[in-house]
A and B are shown apart, each in its own frame.
Chain A
Amino acid sequence: MDFLTLRGIHHTYFTKTSAVTALNDISLDVQEGEFVSFLGPSGCGKTTLLSIIAGLLDPTYGQVKLEGKSVKEAADKTGYMLQQDYLFPWKTIEENILLGLKVSKTLDDTKKKEVLSLLRQMGLENVESLYPKQLSGGMRQRVALVRTLATEPKLLMLDEPFSALDYQTKLKLEDLVSNTFKTFGKTAILVTHDIGEAIAMSDRIFLFSPSPGRLHKTFTIPEELRNLTPFNARNHSLYNELFKKIWKELESIEPEEN
């Protein structure tokens, strides 16, 4: 059975003056343990689709099922990291990462220890009692990741988690995230603008085209690249080949630009 299934997802945003169709007839499946990317130009509905999968938004039509259940019922199985870190500035790092457990009333001493040790695994030492504004962008992004992982979701959704970071930090975090997810056997959906990032991190790439957002093409990443860390994958010859292929495809769907 498929882990996550989307059938005929269609979404229109209504405002007083307009009706914007953000998504048109999206159907796709994701297997358990798979890492997939949503790639596409700005405004093609990637964030909208994630919000629908996370159960934050009801699609105008269509169905999302996680392990056969509607995503509203399976809310405790999904974790969603928003486009910016949105750490609560009035809470310490410790309070921030324990927020999910506190809200779901499953916070106890063992859980707390686990989450704090996860923070250390992410390379963040002695930051528990600091406030978010005392950390750098890359550190905050890692804290946000720990906060999302803390409730042990089976499906993780990351909305452009690295887009605001400098190149070096981004490469390091890609390896860290990829490693962490592989060890914990998580299923993940990554939203990105960056072709290279999508290739380096995923098992499959869903390419979306804009206005209205449609699923344009699916790329399966070859075994050789999948087994490499994102950093090493970027240096493989297959990477460049695939990059060019996806680049061409992206050009073909947005000819009006340039």
Chain B
Amino acid sequence: MNPKKTELLHQQYLKGLSRERKIVRLYQLLIFIAFFASWETSSQQKWIDPLLFSSPSKIWNLLIEKTMDGSLAVHIGVTLAETVLGFILGTLVGTVLAALLWWSPMLSKILDPYLVVLNSMPKVALGPILIVALGTNLSSIVAMGAIISVIITTIVVYTAFKEVDPNYLKVLQTFGATRTQSFREAILPASFPTIISTLKVNVGLSWVGVIVGEFLVSARGLGYMIIYGFQVFNFTLVFLSLFVIAVFATVMYQLVELLEKKLIKNNQ
């Protein structure tokens, strides 16, 4: 085939791609508008109970108001700090535990049944105990955010460590590598993809832990806003908190994806 023709076909291919992208975007936008428009109208026309379901315009006005008086920023700041801390703590402790288990096969055999039990346990049920132990403050909420992800992280990452091709370790052994060196040169980098995917799961889990934690104790934060809105029957406040949570959880997820692209540079 002559190069001009190939060039032309490539152009057409690229055009096709961009047309498809435009169509997808268009429909996404349409769904967005349709959803909020029908919500707004049905609330205004009282097809749904405006007290219960609020409306986009009310939520928007409340957003402006809460942003102006600065109270929203405080709530967001508190919850975000707790979530990020819980997330980092859960992932870090989980990975360190996994490393310990890898280090000592004996320890991993001994702890195996305990891990299974702890993993199947609903972690949020530990909330009251954490609060009693750590007090009604930030630390017990961070602990909730961490504890919910730590065991599953340990299990998943440890499994990844174990599944690293033993021949990579053999190569290192022929160079006289110590166990620490084997861990650093082979086990850890080979498990990066798994660690990253647990990070993605942990973002969601930490939000659950923190919001439940705030339900239980806090006097600040987005979880508190939800509970407070519920108690005073201000559902506009509840919805506002939900939207803010959705936005920030998504941003956090995107950041993890960015990290993924950076860390796994040879994987494209």
Contact = CB atoms under 8 A, between A and B. Distances in A.
A151 to B, nearest CB: 6
A84 B174 contact: no
Nearest to B186: A88
A64 to B, nearest CB: 15
Nearest to B190: A90
B59 to A, nearest CB: 46
B165 to A, nearest CB: 8
B interface majority secondary structure: helix
A88 B165 CA distance: 11
Interface in A57-76: 75-76
Contact of B171 (A78, A86, A89, A90): A86
B171 A82 contact: yes
B266 A89 contact: yes
B175 interface: yes
Nearest to B174: A80
B185 interface: yes
Most chain B beta-carbon contacts within 10 A, residue among A54, A56, A86: A86
A133 interface: yes
A206 interface: no
A253 interface: no
- Top 3 A-B residue pairs of the complex, sorted by shortest distance between their CB atoms: A100-B175, A131-B266, A80-B174
How many B residues touch the partner, as a band?
10 to 19
B162 interface: no
Task: Give the interface size bracket for A toward B.
Answer: 20 to 34
B163 to A, nearest CB: 15
28 contacts: A56-B174, A75-B174, A75-B176, A76-B176, A78-B174, A80-B170, A82-B170, A86-B167, A86-B168, A86-B171, A88-B171, A88-B186, A89-B266, A90-B190, A90-B192, A90-B266, A91-B189, A99-B175, A100-B175, A102-B185, A103-B172, A103-B175, A103-B176, A103-B177, A103-B181, A103-B185, A104-B175, A133-B266
